[in-house]
Structure 1
């Protein structure tokens, strides 16, 4: 019989520790494993193993290459497998800036099959600081939270991914006003993810999670995106259109789009990239545009069986007899967003009727400022 595994992520160490403490308290026989990565760039990591009674093991590990992937592969996974036979629950207490997705995918592997099964991914959040941190454009290196040499990620970028990948969100600290604001922010960023207080955590020993299913919740082609919403001063605006975007006009609008909102994401269709689904991901003024693979309509029908049912279902929701699943579906969240102005700005970037009639053979000749940066993360 395999042992359940819970991942607890979060930039806010006190909130994360409180959630882990609660899990250990609620589950006799549970064991938590934490890797302190503050010196990982030198190849040195400290591993702490504890249960509800206290520290079981404290050791310094030396890695051939100082990175999160090496830590997970060389130490975390063997530790989980070793302790699976005696623990009722294994809690992985992730270092501050570690994103849960690669760890979940590492645990969901052939080596651990039959010994471990992932049941929950919780992200613990400081109720007072989260609404502020999601707006911060600081790099992790500036905050002392980088997890590897050359870690160029931004604090808000990591926090957004920790929130959106989780199957449950845990709030810790703050007063009633802080809690109200934090819940309002999370209702916009992750509206379908349940939110808990640290003293009332969800059941974590039941359903088995598949890393592929977790990935489909956030991947651009299948992501469960927020809907239009307005709560006090927070607004989420959805933009959905069936015409391609002119690359030069969109590029000129990027700065305004990302500074108007705190968080935006989704999938979009550039006229010059007719076959490719492009992913838009922006937070706290930092935006990335990436190639997320072909539109389903760009594949021969014989290849459709090779994509997941979730991908086929998502494409079916947007399907048009002429353009297939090609679509503009972007979502923007921020304080007091002007929906009409945002729509007008984005609509001005679409091809005109005359440009549409020229067809894709003409579109390919447009100046495309995105062409040389689609393989890079940061464009603004």
Structure 2
């Protein structure tokens, strides 16, 4: 028996998401739609809804161990496991609550075991559909309010911004569906951002939605729910590098390390007029560590993402992914090895040259560089090894190849 197809559906625009569900159910009346509603999670409850044919089953669940992650793992994944068994539907839609980012959920589908195997052994993960309202999405993606301030579900210890959710949902999509309206200028700016944020991702209007929403004809390079490797290429696909509607994608690269204090001072340049920043950095105070920097709108995170190959032994080199070894070899520096600053910035309302200047000023000077690593380690470091602001990592499904320590700024 063939595995049922599994589609993951996300988006902040709830009416649009429901419209897409209605369209999918029209195309395939046998599809099952599974949803966990988190609106009352602060009260220790969530609501499960399963629609399949004429059935519309709803249940109230207590929050297991006071932990969203545990509850979803103990209910969402087992529900998918049961649905994908013999006699189940041949297509399943996993409808995510608006505050959930599909990358973390897909990681669980790929890696968390249920009865000894991940869900993708039983279901064919076809990809991710994200619904966006072009009339409001760009404001969401560039703001700094938290999801709690927006009135969305308040997850325990969760200080994510709406921008981080909106950008994460769009960036990880295989299909973007415009489910609202906007004037011509707003639509043009939104499209210019999406072309650079999610290059190669198919985009459709709700009014023209057809069988392609079932994700049967995605190109070979489609993500299909697979998270990026933090050590892989930063420019996924072939995004346009030219300026359009004030939107521009720029790359900052350097071989010398950042001075931690000066980088901390430069962070504001990555939050003002910027949609998205992502990349690998290294600080002078910790020359062995790869740090992952990621921002969306007014929220930024920096976390530990492993070690540079330059500081490792033969075993570390052999354990690295072949693509990472190839990239390291191509760019190997006689002094720094594979250590480098590689940051991609997607701006919408600022001059990228100002961002580049701020980052360049945060690099070590010639005199600091000449002082050597022993001196570098004495520099004040406001980031800390296990620092988060807020102090605890957000509750939710476990992240994957992404940083295991975080420094957050809003």
Residue 99 of structure 2 corresponds to: 97
2:268 counterpart of 1:267: no
RMSD in angstroms over aligned alpha carbons? 2.8
Deviations along 1:162-184, one digit per CA (max 9) or x if unpaired, are 12222332221214624333211
Please, which of 125, 130, 133 is the counterpart of residue 132 of structure 2? 125
Change (3 A) 1:187 1:114: closer
DSSP 3-state at the match of 2:192: helix
DSSP 3-state at the match of 1:46: strand
Q: 1:257 and 1:115 mapped to 2: Cα distance? A: 42
Deviations along 1:269-309, one digit per CA (max 9) or x if unpaired, are 21112111111112222222211111122221222232333
2:408 counterpart of 1:378: yes
Q: 1:64 and 1:213 mapped to 2: Cα distance? A: 26
- Show structure 1 runs of 5+ residues with no match: none
Change (3 A) 1:352 1:142: same
Deviations along 1:126-182, one digit per CA (max 9) or x if unpaired, are 121111111121111112213522222111111121122223322212146243332
Deviations along 1:238-270, one digit per CA (max 9) or x if unpaired, are 111122112222222222332242322211121
Q: 2:281 and 2:292 mapped to 1: Cα distance? A: 6
Residue 399 of structure 2 corresponds to: none
Change (3 A) 1:311 1:169: farther
Please, which of 321, 324, 349 is the counterpart of residue 311 of structure 1? 324
Query: How many correspondences in the alignment?
Result: 378
Deviations along 1:61-83, one digit per CA (max 9) or x if unpaired, are 23323443233222222222222
DSSP 3-state at the match of 2:408: coil
DSSP 3-state at the match of 2:407: coil
Residue 175 of structure 2 corresponds to: 168
Q: 2:240 and 2:327 mapped to 1: Cα distance? A: 15
- Residue 220 of structure 1 deviates from its aligned partner by 5.8
Residue 226 of structure 2 corresponds to: 214
When normalised by structure 1's length, the TM-score is 0.89
Residue 33 of structure 1 corresponds to: 34
Asked if structure 1 preserves the Cα contact closer than 8 Å seen for 2:10 and 2:169, the reply is: yes
**1:130-141 matched pairs, under 5 angstroms:** 130-141=137-148
Q: 2:370 and 2:225 mapped to 1: Cα distance? A: 40
Asked if structure 1 preserves the Cα contact closer than 8 Å seen for 2:299 and 2:409, the reply is: yes
- Residue 5 of structure 1 deviates from its aligned partner by 0.7
- Residue 211 of structure 1 deviates from its aligned partner by 9.5
- Residue 39 of structure 1 deviates from its aligned partner by 1.3
Q: 2:228 and 2:182 mapped to 1: Cα distance? A: 35
Please, which of 157, 160, 173 is the counterpart of residue 153 of structure 1? 160
Residue 149 of structure 2 corresponds to: 142
Moved more, 279-288 or 198-207: 198-207
Asked if structure 1 preserves the Cα contact closer than 8 Å seen for 2:127 and 2:225, the reply is: no
Q: 1:351 and 1:318 mapped to 2: Cα distance? A: 20
Residue 320 of structure 1 corresponds to: 333
- Show structure 2 runs of 5+ residues with no match: 389-404
Change (3 A) 1:196 1:321: farther
- Residue 111 of structure 1 deviates from its aligned partner by 4.8
2:236 counterpart of 1:252: no
- Residue 312 of structure 1 deviates from its aligned partner by 2.9
Residue 234 of structure 1 corresponds to: 247
